[in-house]
Amino acid sequence: MSGGTLVGSNLTSILIQTDDATPIVLIDAAAGAVANLTDEAQLAWAGAILLDAGTGAKIQLIIAGGAATAAKVCDVIAESRAVASGGYLS
Question: Per-residue DSSP letters for the chain?
Answer: -BSS--TT-S--EEEEEE-SSSPPEEE-TTTTBGGG--TT------------GGGT--EEEEEESS--SS--B---------SSTT----
Residue 32 lies in a domain: yes
Residue 41 lies in a domain: yes
Residue 5 lies in a domain: no
Residue 7 lies in a domain: no
Question: pLDDT, tens digit, for every residue of 7-61?
Answer: 667 888 889 999 988 999 999 999 999 888 888 888 999 888 888 777 888 899 9
Residue range(s) defining the domain that contains residue 53: 13-64
Residue 74 lies in a domain: no
Question: pLDDT, tens digit, for every residue of 60-70?
Answer: 999 888 877 77
Residue 18 lies in a domain: yes
Model pTM score: 0.75
How many domains does one find in the chain?
A: 1
